[in-house]
Structure 1
């Protein structure tokens, strides 16, 4: 007979309407599964887009939440690498079918990929059951730090895609959470890093908290001259766009150095075109970067544990699980200066 428990959850019933509900969770574990208590939930850009009704490949109603810090409560009979009480980050990229990409190790972009909290109900609830293979434990990090690992992994994966090296000049466009993570890992690679954004306060955050000294306001009437100035007359060898804005994405073809690389991290919901002669003239390498890999999670956890990566500046707002439905909309207001909002569960 299946075991069931009644739990609290928060569901996005339709755009603009979050609601706290009671729901049932089946807790009878398969051999590879783990019962988890959710302690922290990071609010992602995907969650904000879904609230606005602007998230592609999304259906309502949906329980959001894929940036999670969780505690292991029970383990299935076949689980050997976790124990009760372990603190974990959740890798939310689920591949039920080992399709061609997954067989090649590209679990971040499987043909049948389902993202927890996006394509299926996620972790915005008190307890969840997941396969153990999607958990990454640490006996040193807090639940809040573990809930940040997924966001950080997006930037980490993009830097790996671009194969950023110490002699690279890197321009990151977009100083939201994904852009900030991208800058952090480019800095760890010891590249020369510049941040570009329309929001001067975000740029100042990059300087104050991430030690990114090269700042470019995208509203400048001489952006190209500004770029060349901060890179001593050169253009960036790597441009990473985390905006998802088609005009910004198009501008990267002008900004990047001859023989350079462009990585699109942000997603634009529509067709995108560029001037082919310029693309060929510069011999540009153009890439997309989607999600991240399990090994990325492990590497990031190690960097945070060793003190190489500081998560201290990240969380700007905290809210209780109980108060989230009435507070959520405030996170969309630029005046509130949200970098990362974190939901706290007891």
Structure 2
């Protein structure tokens, strides 16, 4: 079978590997259908991911069909794949938080991912994608990241919320904050991206970096700020955007240390929340939102391409994402 591999930073190749015909005990064989290419994959290609060893088959935003009957699944069932393989025995897992398992292995990061024809996945990591297209099912994981962050934030319907970073994760976060009834604002440095989000996804309050956000009614800041930028400078600047009594949720991950002024942090009685990956409840809420068209998945997929196309265009996609929301490889 063909596999898309980041051999080293800046080097992506299609290689041939043996197609698995058996799965470990408790796992299910899947024929992969579609793979979303996300910021993590671009960071891997660029050598910016903090938790990765090369070479690596990338791809963790996955949909597939069951290759053979197993563990209650029938051959041909379309499924969404939760790519976070938890140990089940560490303290986090025992407390119902497998998303931050001490020994976690994420497909496409800690172990080879799904940019290939076939993959074995733990049976408990599969969720029915009935009612979704194969491409929609491949976009569930990135939306679940935002849904998880919103759920952790405990925002209320009358809260004023700011999401910094209008990439796929930030957009997903904004959409699920809107579903909670919050007044949602989005901040980004790309006018093109903000115009898309405003016109196509109905996020009305879009702000361009550098335009003086904390003025007028917004002078006291936001009840909850979500960072989805992947930028150290943006994360550090975000502390000043949190209102007194508010919360700051760090959704993106960076390699570097983050610093902030302790007096400013304390006078706000600010909550600082890390949000990592997602849980089953988040995947299920995203699947339901897509199935019922509360979120229109068709507007999130910028383009579909083949594995061969990706090998040619990955440098371009990684370097120029101004107009790109989500590229999906169909297999």
Normalising by the smaller structure, the TM-score range is over 0.9
RMSD over aligned CA atoms reads 1.4
Q: Please report how far the alpha carbon of residue 120 of structure 1 lies from its aligned counterpart in structure 2 after TM superposition.
A: 0.6
Task: Give the deviation of 1:271 after TM superposition.
Answer: 1.3
24, 36, 40: which is aligned to 1:46?
Answer: 40
Alignment equivalent of 2:181, drawn from 165, 170, 190 = 190
Q: CA contact under 8 A between 1:37 and 1:70: conserved in structure 2?
A: yes
What is the SS of the residue equivalent to 2:298? Answer: coil
Question: What secondary structure, in the 3-state scheme, does the structure 1 residue paired with 2:198 have?
Answer: helix
Cα gap change, 1:276 to 1:336, in 2 (>3 Å): closer
Question: Residue 317 of structure 1 corresponds to which residue in structure 2?
Answer: 303
Q: Which has the higher contact order (CA 8 A, sep 6+)?
A: 2
Could you tell me how far apart the structure 2 residues matched to 1:288 and 1:192 are? 22
Choose the corresponding residue for 1:149, options 111, 115, 140: 140
Are 1:59 and 2:48 an aligned pair?
A: no
Kept in 2, the 8 Å contact 1:29–1:75? The answer is no
Structure 1 residues without counterparts, runs of 5 or longer: 1-6
Match of 2:102 among 107, 111, 128: 111
Post-superposition shift, 1:138?
Answer: 2.2
Greater C-alpha radius of gyration? 1
Structure 1 residue runs of 4 or more that deviate by more than 3 Å after TM superposition: none
Q: Does 1:25 align with 2:25?
A: no
2:201 maps to 1:201: no
Cα shift readout 1:227-246 (whole Å, capped 9, x = no counterpart): x44x4x54210000111222
Q: d(CA) in 2 for partners of 1:213 and 1:29?
A: 47
Distance 2:89 2:321 in 1: 45
Which residue pairs with 1:12 in the alignment?
Answer: 6
Write the mapping of 1:1-346 to structure 2, written as runs, cut at 5 A: 7-76=1-70, 79-80=71-72, 82-220=73-211, 222-225=212-215, 228-229=216-217, 231=218, 234-334=220-320, 337-345=323-331
Per the normalisation by structure 1, the TM-score is 0.92
CA contact (8 A) 2:20 2:118 kept: no
- Distance in structure 2 (CA, Å) of the matches to 1:18 and 1:252: 34
| Distance in 2 separating the partners of 1:196 and 1:335 | 16
Give me the whole-angstrom Cα distance separating, in 1, the residues matched to 2:87 and 2:242: 38
**TM-score normalised per structure 2:** 0.96
Deviations 1:226-274 (A, max 9, x none): xx44x4x542100001112222112222111110010011112111111
**Cα displacement (A) at 1:136:** 0.8
SS in 2 for 1:19: strand
Deviation per residue, 1:107-144 (Å, 9 max, x gap)? 11011111110011000101111111111112210110
Contact 2:168-2:325 at 8 Å conserved across structures: yes
